Amino acid sequence: MKEDDALLPVEEARARTLALVSPLPQEWVRMEEALGRALAVDVRAQRTLPPWDNSAMDGFAVRSADLTAPPPIRLQVRETIYAGQMPREEVRPGTCARIMTGAPMPAGADAVVMRERTRLAPGGETVEILEAVGPGNFVRPRGEDAREGEVLLARGTPLGIPELGLLVGQGMLTVPVPRRPRVAILSTGDELCRADAPAEGRIVDANAPALSLAVLRAGGVPSVLGIARDTLEDVYQHLAAAEGYDLVLTSAGMSVGEHDFVREALAKLGVERDFWRVAIKPGKPLAVGRKGSTAYVGLPGNPTSSLVTFELFVRPALRRMLGHSDVEPPRVGGRLAGALQKPPGLAHYVRVTAAWQEGELWARPLSTQTSGVLRSAASATHLLHFPREASRLANGDNVELLPLSWGA
Ligand code: AMP
Ligand code: MG
């Protein structure tokens, strides 16, 4: 067997796929568009937030040194400070200020006693403090959220709702993120027809619509290139017509059958192939390469195989293009409900439905595992990783599960 034909371990195939792509140039987008994407640059704080020490409670701003005698301790109330107001005077020994949550701490005060631990005299001129507190009690320090000049969020940080809130707090109404990858999708096969033009003796192209949705969900912009017939010329023509994409996905025509022309067409186009076989089931034939600034991934034809390989290789690549620092598929630990067997040699990714039971995630393999039918993917919640060299997994074994992004 030539080195080129060796079956790559999944991890190595993913690492080599990731090495072919990099974060795309940045664009500035509004918050709604930024949600779920990753920051293109380090963002430094322009403002110190909160801008002043402030109260974390409704209560009384006091000098903690005044509270050394046994409670109750009577203090004179000098003013009331509401959120949105600035204190008018300094808190001097024997005095305090009524203060509301979020209001700036007055000078002289170093702690807040919550209202529930006080007794305000009728008229409100004095208060009895019923609890001694130390310095800093219920005070939110200046700069707790952000200090001017510090890196607030690092490049590659995914922008969830709190992160975007932090950026808005800094006055940023748009944020820099890598632009969305443009992804072309080509189906190949003489047996295929379009869903809107069903034909006698043909099967509907299921891969292009499924892959389009997978690309959309991964944050890319899909374009369907149509269906190429099983000739070198037609596959080549379709690929040659696809220009300006960041990623081109093909499905089917990848094996060594007489009518499998995708690899040859990619070579004719000048795509430098990195590898094409992975020690994995489903999805063994998978071709990955690059030409100029476009990456090419030839996915297997079986609808479920193409979705599984999308999860394991394409989605991580799209995440890298989108600038995420964490691109590996997510994993969780679970237990196998059932038993599995296979010969060693290929890592299997078994479609399972996983559910919590008594504090653990139990994964039940779907009864259909044939990759030719989408049924074996419908209702799967996770892929169970059955390691390459393992040959049996027993009921109750600890297993690695990949939560699927394709489900509802
Ligand atoms: P191939 O890799 O070309 O041998 O295709 C493998 C299997 O996947 C065959 O049964 C094909 O009919 C099927 N297949 C290939 N492409 C598609 C597609 N776009 N939609 C549905 N099934 C497909
Ligand atoms: Mg085919």
- Report the CATH number at residue 166: 3.90.105.10
110 & 229 share domain: no
**Is residue 285 reached through a cis peptide bond, with omega within 30 degrees of 0 on the bond before it?**
no
Q: Which ligand is nearest to the CA of 372?
A: 1
- Say whether 205 sits in a helix, a strand or coil: coil
- What is the reported pLDDT for 15? 97
- Domain membership of residue 368 (yes or no) is yes
**Distance of CA 318 from the midpoint of ligand 1 (Å):** 24
- What is the reported pLDDT for 377? 82
35 & 172 share domain: yes
Q: Does the beta carbon of 195 lie inside 6 Å of ligand 1?
A: no
- Domain membership of residue 197 (yes or no) is yes
- What is the reported pLDDT for 19? 96
**Domain with 393 in it: what CATH number?**
2.40.340.10
Q: Does the beta carbon of 186 lie inside 6 Å of ligand 1?
A: no
Q: Does the beta carbon of 192 lie inside 6 Å of ligand 1?
A: yes
Whole-number Å distance between alpha carbons of 298 and 266 = 9
Q: Does the beta carbon of 316 lie inside 6 Å of ligand 1?
A: no
- What is the reported pLDDT for 4? 55
Last residue of a domain, one of 263, 295, 321: 321
Using alpha carbons, select from 84, 67, 82, 85 the residue that is nearest to residue 127: 67
45 & 130 share domain: no
**Distance of CA 38 from the midpoint of ligand 1 (Å):** 35
- Domain membership of residue 150 (yes or no) is no
**Distance of CA 300 from the midpoint of ligand 1 (Å):** 8
Using alpha carbons, select from 289, 292, 243 the residue that is nearest to residue 264: 289
- Domain membership of residue 327 (yes or no) is no
Q: Which ligand is nearest to the CA of 190?
A: 2
**Distance of CA 390 from the midpoint of ligand 1 (Å):** 29
Using alpha carbons, select from 5, 15, 7 the residue that is nearest to residue 279: 7
**Domain with 107 in it: what CATH number?**
2.170.190.11
18 & 96 share domain: no
Q: 156: Cβ–Cβ under 8 A, 6 or more apart, which residues? A: 38, 39, 323, 324, 325, 326
- What is the reported pLDDT for 258? 83
For 106, the domain range is 54-140
93 & 16 share domain: no
Q: Does the beta carbon of 206 lie inside 6 Å of ligand 1?
A: yes
206 & 297 share domain: yes
- What is the reported pLDDT for 1? 38
Q: 175: Cβ–Cβ under 8 A, 6 or more apart, which residues? A: 28, 29, 31, 34, 39, 43, 159, 164, 167
Cα–Cα distances (Å) from 231 to 189, 202, 265, 290, 328, in that order, read: 9, 17, 9, 22, 36
- What is the reported pLDDT for 369? 77
pTM: 0.89
34 & 167 share domain: yes
- Domain membership of residue 366 (yes or no) is yes
- What is the reported pLDDT for 5? 67
Q: Which ligand is nearest to the CA of 229?
A: 2
Q: Which ligand is nearest to the CA of 192?
A: 1
171 & 194 share domain: no
Using alpha carbons, select from 290, 235, 280, 298 the residue that is nearest to residue 387: 280
- What is the reported pLDDT for 257? 81
Using alpha carbons, select from 347, 333, 328, 343 the residue that is nearest to residue 382: 333
| Total domains present in the chain | 4
Q: Does the beta carbon of 300 lie inside 6 Å of ligand 1?
A: yes
- pLDDT mean values, one per 10 residues, the chain (408 residues): 71 96 98 96 94 97 96 97 97 98 98 97 96 96 93 97 94 96 98 93 96 97 97 97 95 87 95 91 90 96 94 98 96 97 96 95 90 79 97 98 89
Whole-number Å distance between alpha carbons of 91 and 99 = 12
- Domain membership of residue 252 (yes or no) is yes
- Domain membership of residue 384 (yes or no) is yes
**Distance of CA 219 from the midpoint of ligand 1 (Å):** 25
Q: Which structure tokens are listed for 155?
A: 């490049």
Q: Does the beta carbon of 230 lie inside 6 Å of ligand 1?
A: no
Instruction: Looking at the CA of residue 191, tell me the nearest atom of ligand 1.
Output: 12
315 & 364 share domain: no
| Backbone phi, psi, residue 387, to 5° | -60, 155
**Domain with 280 in it: what CATH number?**
3.40.980.10
- What is the reported pLDDT for 259? 83
280 & 252 share domain: yes
- Domain membership of residue 148 (yes or no) is no
339 & 298 share domain: no
Q: Does the beta carbon of 303 lie inside 6 Å of ligand 1?
A: yes
Whole-number Å distance between alpha carbons of 226 and 203 = 14
Query: Residues 266, 289: contact at Cβ < 8 Å?
Result: yes
Query: Residues 275, 163: contact at Cβ < 8 Å?
Result: no
108 burial via Cβ count (<10 Å: 0-12, 13-18, 19+): middle
90 & 40 share domain: no
